[in-house]
Chains A and B, each alone.
Chain A
């Protein structure tokens, strides 16, 4: 019998080897993870860092090809003072703010109502509609801007921020609705049944139960709509040619590039200032954003 029973030493040795192997595997996984993270961080952070550095250089230093472009020899705030003192730049900023605020509002109202209906109210064709909403998101804007140009032109809204307020939701509503459908679907069905029995109608159920419970999802969708609207480039390029109606994204490049003269320092300063609002919003709401995006995946 003793021949068939492992000795304590051999059992201990086996466990020791396994633990060691696990430890080694974990160490390799960590090393690989860090390597990839560092590579991606460098790749993604290099452009904004370069922008940041360039924004503090004068025109002569930018044009000077001697030395490392990553170093600042004569730091200056002239680009920022020029940009912030330019009424046109402030106009672009205001246009972007108005367009984005309206688009976010329209998007959230439409997508919250649509998602609630598609996720919770059982009606004929709701499943097909839900899929259809998502499919519209897959059509690229570079394909849509030609027919949309006809529509916006027909409505007399070319060269107007209202034209952009009208068309941006075609980009934001489908994806936000899709995020919200996933989030609403993860809320237990018994919650709306309890509310129905408690005496709530559909609108009360949405406003008193679903919106507060789905707040992380709503915040995630809001951030998405904000980002898309703030950073939109193709539609304003196509629909707006007068500086008065331009948002920041095209205003900065169109007004600071004159013929073949690039005001690189000001372009970089303007771009950095333009990128500031999304960065601030992401930093404040990052936890909600991640919770919102992963809710559908982790909840039954």
Chain B
């Protein structure tokens, strides 16, 4: 059993600066949880408090049901993979992986068995005699993961392990990490600032901002049902578009009045949800894929309007079209064959069935 529980965890530095402001989180046994957020949001500090590398100002961290606040890192039965690999440069790959087991006085045969097993899982069997300086970045990160696997700990902690790798290797290693987790099923807490990594790896994503948790949920839930403007804007690439609008009631139906005189009718199935907010200023949130070229779009809830593209970015499988509406930068996702050209007006359609309305003051999604 290796659940991880955080109860009202606070990290306060000298001078009263709070990096983590009382967060609660329960991570189930075998679960892969990703803490994601911008720099300074407190995700790494939270991870380091779980590891015991950072003192907890107040609150409780439990691993496997036992409170570990006062237990040193070596006795928490955790393993950690660092951003810069943190391999011991004077030791061979084998010794790097075996070091933790040697300190714990494991039998030599058992150490060899575990190291070879981890090397097989990570496909680094032929590197065991090498020193870290003779390895590529990807190989070093595999060794760092191997060092964690051999320990067979209760919890794996990953602190931005792919940030030092190039884009191609990052994608490759992401798959490797997922494979390893599927093979060993150890409870994992993974920190990243890359929301694509978070979405692709996690059973559940924890979005943090300013030392608090904004939302916790499976990746798809966060993507389709963000709880706050921050989550809506942080998850998804390109980011969600936000437009100021006024929600108005007219002739028994709700509509959104945009500043440029564009009026978008609210789909009938959303009427009950938004009716209490009629007459208020809101933010309309629409993902780029829900703003497309208007050709052939004639479904209920889809409204058309005219816009003039400023920049057109053909990506191969899609084309990103950037334009401005009332000063806001908007991004739309077009089919690659759509006739979009910079400076030439084009009809666009907004799929309001997928829209999000946000209360500007609180940032809460309505």
Residues of A within 8 A of B (CB): 188, 190-191, 193-201, 204, 208-209, 212-213, 215
Contact = CB atoms under 8 A, between A and B. Distances in A.
Contacts of A212: 90
Contacts of A195: 88, 99
Interface stretch (B78-86, B199-207, B327-335): B78-86
Given A198-B99, A215-B90, 18 more contacts: A190-B82, A190-B83, A190-B84, A193-B86, A194-B80, A194-B82, A194-B88, A195-B99, A196-B72, A197-B74, A197-B79, A198-B147, A199-B104, A200-B74, A200-B103, A201-B74, A209-B88, A213-B90
Contacts of B104: 199
Contacts of B89: 213
A193 B88 contact: no
Among all A-B residue pairs, the 5 with the closest Cβ atoms: A198-B100, A190-B86, A194-B86, A199-B103, A199-B74
A197 B86 CA distance: 12
B74 A196 contact: yes
Interface of B: 51-53, 72-74, 78-80, 82-84, 86-90, 99-100, 103-104, 147, 151
B15 to A, nearest CB: 16
Contacts of B52: 196-197
Contacts of B51: 193, 197
A193 B90 contact: no
A204 B72 CA distance: 15
B357 to A, nearest CB: 44
A198 B103 contact: yes
Contacts of A215: 90
A198 B82 contact: no
17 contacts: A188-B86, A190-B86, A191-B88, A193-B53, A194-B147, A195-B88, A196-B74, A197-B74, A197-B78, A198-B99, A198-B103, A200-B103, A208-B99, A212-B90, A213-B88, A213-B89, A215-B90
A200 B75 CA distance: 10
A193 B79 CA distance: 11
A188 B89 CA distance: 11
A62 to B, nearest CB: 53
A193 B74 contact: no
A198 B74 contact: yes
Nearest to B72: A196
Contacts of A200: 74, 103
Given A191-B88, A212-B90, A213-B90, A199 B80 contact: no
Given A193-B80, A197-B78, A198-B74, A204 B103 contact: yes
Nearest to B157: A197
B61 to A, nearest CB: 15
A212 B72 CA distance: 24
A22 B215 CA distance: 59
Contacts of A213: 88-90
Contact of B86 (A191, A201, A204, A208): A191
A200 to B, nearest CB: 6
Nearest to A212: B90
A215 B78 CA distance: 30
Nearest to A201: B74
A268 to B, nearest CB: 44
B86 A199 contact: no
A198 B86 CA distance: 12
Given A188-B84, A190-B82, A204-B103, A196 B73 contact: yes
A194 B103 CA distance: 13
Nearest to A187: B89
Contacts of A209: 88
A204 B80 CA distance: 19
Q: Please indicate which of the listed interface residues A190, A198, A199 has the most CB atoms of chain B within 10 Å of its own CB.
A: A198
Contacts of A191: 86, 88
A199 B100 contact: yes
Nearest to B79: A197
A194 B89 CA distance: 12
B118 to A, nearest CB: 14
Contacts of B53: 193, 196-197
A209 B132 CA distance: 14
A209 B100 CA distance: 12
Nearest to B53: A193
B154 to A, nearest CB: 12
A203 to B, nearest CB: 12
Q: Which one of A188, A196, A199, A213 has the greatest number of beta carbons of chain B within 10 Å? A: A199
B104 to A, nearest CB: 5
Contacts of A204: 103
A5 B99 CA distance: 66
A190 B88 CA distance: 10
A266 to B, nearest CB: 47
B155 to A, nearest CB: 11
A218 to B, nearest CB: 13
Contacts of B80: 193-194, 197
Nearest to B159: A190
B294 to A, nearest CB: 42
A188 B103 CA distance: 21
Nearest to B76: A197
Which one of A191, A194, A196, A215 has the greatest number of beta carbons of chain B within 10 Å? A194
Nearest to A190: B86
Contacts of A188: 84, 86
A208 B147 CA distance: 16
A265 B87 CA distance: 57
Contacts of A198: 74, 99-100, 103, 147, 151
A190 B53 CA distance: 10
A195 B51 CA distance: 12
A285 to B, nearest CB: 18
A199 B148 CA distance: 12
A212 B96 CA distance: 14
A295 to B, nearest CB: 13
Contacts of B88: 191, 194-195, 209, 213
B249 to A, nearest CB: 58
A216 to B, nearest CB: 11
